[in-house]
Structure 1
């Protein structure tokens, strides 16, 4: 035995072995890093392990026969040994490869787009196939290791002839899920197939023939199978949420799907239809938390989109709380509750509920967008940009998402960038009233009055009852000193909203020598803003600048400067508004005016620095 170890030492076998093992560890490390970066299949590690193990035998043989100093001839035994090693290695590799599919997924495989499933029944069943599509999308969205493109962005590809690769490229997705739905009496057939967007090859496909009562199990199975195929980590909490059933009653479920279908049409008549359908679902199953959340959302939408009384937010709040009590793991319930609190001005509580919705569904783009908007209105523009851009990545075709990105860039005085984002929104729908209005508003803020007037007229033409259009026109005419016309536009604004006059209107009245009426309005505005800020001081930078502008109109310079400074402290940064609007005309020659303007610009620059540092990919200001 001693002689054997002497031979090992003499032939430097240990040295050969050490070099080989250290090289092998390095290779494994490099492959591991590349697999993370390029999402390489795990089978490569199996192949690498086989090569390293059999390579180790070859190294030992080579070191034994050729480890001594001087020249050595190749021995016949050595050739036999190496031949056997190659033979066994090849056979082992064959067994490994044949036992597993060698499939290389795209680098962005975990970005999934769920295309609208084909409805194999009559068009009356579109709501059902669309609903199944969205439910599968929602289940996938709850898996934090996946990024799932929103319903908003995929629905335009319904019944499309566009190639899978082109759709994926537009959406930034690596994998596409498509399929079909057929419903016959109480039976349902769902065909689903997951496609590699790069190669157009099927990663996975299956057909589910089940009873309708098993519909939620099918959705759960599909989501978990996709996660497995894409090697996405599924947390135990996520699995429990995905496996839960929203209702046991299939009639209530069908009514909910139909209600959600009408809700997404975003018009007042269909919103009322959605309300009726959600109520019918709840008559059948009063514990259906998802239907309660849907009803809460439609009530909030009555106010935010259709100008009904704000009391509907109270109704939404009651329903949202009930939904959360019934199912504390339902993201839609927290989002509905957040929207109600948001509408009631309770921004802290709204933020808490939006964050809870996002925690339960990390791809819940509308909750992410709403949370980002709260950050924006509270003057935290770097955080706002992060959240709103995140929502935009999940829903690149959502008009309000693109507009919201533009509004953040406007807040940090990147007007050209803001305009380009709102133009993207307008390209998605050239007749969209919100995009048209906001584009006019941005041109006004940048001092381009011709384009501001152009888009004001376009927005009025699109919808003469859209209140913000008249408000835009009134502000434009005030800046241009056309106060008679400004008053007409303000009157239209108040008539549509059935609201009381505000300080903008009072300023116009002063310019038209209607001092008594103007002073009544201004004094009431001061009282109302004081009460509002006493109750909710943190989340509305505009209220602070409103105070400053009211005192500017009253020529109370000290208080105007005080509240302006408070607005800056709270995060107000709209430098261009201060320069353009006439409310500070009495202050412009004061040294304090230039000091505060400089302070605002410094604040803007600090936000830009924060964005450049934390989110360099979003630093596109110009």
Structure 2
């Protein structure tokens, strides 16, 4: 040991290594600072870092073999050791840097992310105006079918971010980034825009617009056209016309509209009411402002869809949407609002037709695309739904409901592990999202993981003690667990909050508790309601059929239960695990037809999987 220490001193190893480490640390620091300042690609820093790291080994070898005074010959072992270190460095750079550049290389230039424009006004109360300009430019670009434009939902989180362009582009999967700034002063406006190729961090196009404030609409159209030209995107005549179309000449009305949108996007009941107020103010200034009419219609629809208010608001939404379309027949926002109202009123075909029209006018209208896919999904058209829902997710990768929709379709295809992965991804985006918490609990319940399901029920109720769906899920959860007393308590809470009449799942719990008369009364009413419902317009979901099958199974009407179960299978009801786990079919499980029907459901699922595997090979699907 003493000889080894003496050798180290004689060869001056500590001196050489100290000099090397000091120089390397300084070099890494300088490169890091330059990378931040000039937004160098990540792989440049990685190359420098790993080269210097492995260079420590070569420095040790050189000082060991050549640290003594006098000349030393180069030995074969020295060459072998250097070669080994260089080879190891090459492998690390290949997998570390190579994969990094490959990700960037795979980014398509026609996938565009419009980052929130910076508000350069001293008055921060005008932040909504910069956000509105960002949103409008994004919307204009979305109308170009040759481009894929990342949604507002996904880009707004990068407001005031410390991430560089390279990191943002990789997170969003966008090959091109548009960033800029807005400043208003008096009746003047300055908008600066710059388009960046995310693969090499090079500016493709930049422009500063100093104009009158009333020219803001022309500026937005010009920016969209310049970007299309810079990316060599094919701009169809109809798209050019749509981009140049402005819905108002009145800046005051436009400002009120932007304030309305700013509140709308906060997605709470209170903020939705503020949005309605500002949309109305915009219409007071310009009664023919079609976009404000569409915004008001959409906000009215949200009162029902998100905030559980009276369905009469759908009627108001229909009136306003149709008025907006009379003023501007090519307004995608109006078609989307109209479709949403038709969907809420059960007019599925009209909803699909209007969503399709909205998508034709704005091929990147991710929320319309998602809603269209959801209707297809709930109708049992899982192959079509899979395409539309995954397309929406590409445009809005950070939307909670978009991720949950991907999870739900995997659940219907009996891909439970993928369903859980996507549900967890949705929850990571918004950990306090009540529906996400209840939904993932439902997925675990389908797999009889009672403790995990109960955990997510508790989390959802902790966030909102009046969460209607949470109590409904909690009641079903305890029924599956066989704890009918607790099931009744939770169903009672659900019925009290929702004001809904009791349904068959509640009746089943009452039967288990020996409250036969009350249960019989509920089941009799349910059976009459469903028969009346099926005698009406043929516009039902596949769950309606399975629900009526379960009612008949509880009533021990075995043949009718199988009849309606068969109808559910014909209409692509595929939730096999729910059939097995829930107690509503317990009375018919001993019938030989039970297993045959399960086999028919498996065959239906397999047929959808085959189509998806053939048509959408880029997406994962379970066996």
Q: 1:107 to 1:488 in 2, by over 3 A?
A: closer
- Aligned ranges for residues 413-428 of structure 1 at < 5 Å? 413-428=414-429
After superposing the two structures, state which structure 1 stretch, 344-353 or 503-512, moved more: 503-512
Question: What corresponds to 1:238 in structure 2?
Answer: 239
Q: Residue 410 of structure 1 contacts residue 418 of structure 1 at CA under 8 Å; is this kept in 2?
A: yes
Match status 1:207 vs 2:211: no
Q: 1:419 to 1:105 in 2, by over 3 A?
A: closer
2: CA distance, partners of 1:278 / 1:501: 38
Question: What corresponds to 1:25 in structure 2?
Answer: none
Question: What corresponds to 1:247 in structure 2?
Answer: 248
Question: What corresponds to 2:120 in structure 1?
Answer: 120
Question: What corresponds to 1:326 in structure 2?
Answer: 327
Structure 1 runs of 4+ aligned residues shifted over 4 Å read 104-107
Match status 1:354 vs 2:355: yes
Q: Residue 144 of structure 1 contacts residue 363 of structure 1 at CA under 8 Å; is this kept in 2?
A: yes
- Aligned ranges for residues 217-296 of structure 1 at < 5 Å? 217-296=218-297
2: CA distance, partners of 1:508 / 1:106: 55
Cα deviation, 1:248-300, whole Å, max 9, x if unaligned, reads 11111100000000000011111100011111111111111111111111111
2: CA distance, partners of 1:441 / 1:162: 36
Aligned CA RMSD, in angstroms, stands at 1.3
C-alpha deviation, 1:602, in angstroms:
0.8
2: CA distance, partners of 1:433 / 1:464: 10
- Aligned ranges for residues 422-571 of structure 1 at < 5 Å? 422-571=423-572
Q: Residue 549 of structure 2 contacts residue 561 of structure 2 at CA under 8 Å; is this kept in 1?
A: yes
2: CA distance, partners of 1:202 / 1:395: 25
Cα deviation, 1:113-139, whole Å, max 9, x if unaligned, reads 000000011210111000000000000
Q: Residue 105 of structure 1 contacts residue 196 of structure 1 at CA under 8 Å; is this kept in 2?
A: no
C-alpha deviation, 1:106, in angstroms:
8.2
Task: Give the TM-score taking structure 1 as reference length.
Answer: 0.82
C-alpha deviation, 1:471, in angstroms:
1.1
Cα deviation, 1:326-382, whole Å, max 9, x if unaligned, reads 111000000000100111111110000000000000000000000000000000111
Q: Residue 379 of structure 2 contacts residue 571 of structure 2 at CA under 8 Å; is this kept in 1?
A: yes
C-alpha deviation, 1:620, in angstroms:
2.5
1: CA distance, partners of 2:622 / 2:188: 55
Rg larger in structure: 1
2: CA distance, partners of 1:238 / 1:502: 50
1: CA distance, partners of 2:112 / 2:182: 20
2: CA distance, partners of 1:412 / 1:507: 28
Question: What corresponds to 2:390 in structure 1?
Answer: 389
Question: What corresponds to 2:57 in structure 1?
Answer: none
Q: What 5-or-longer segments of structure 2 have no aligned partner?
A: 1-103
C-alpha deviation, 1:218, in angstroms:
0.4
SS at match of 1:618: coil
SS at match of 2:207: strand
Q: Residue 317 of structure 1 contacts residue 337 of structure 1 at CA under 8 Å; is this kept in 2?
A: yes
SS at match of 1:205: strand
1: CA distance, partners of 2:529 / 2:127: 49
Q: Residue 377 of structure 1 contacts residue 539 of structure 1 at CA under 8 Å; is this kept in 2?
A: no
2: CA distance, partners of 1:125 / 1:161: 22
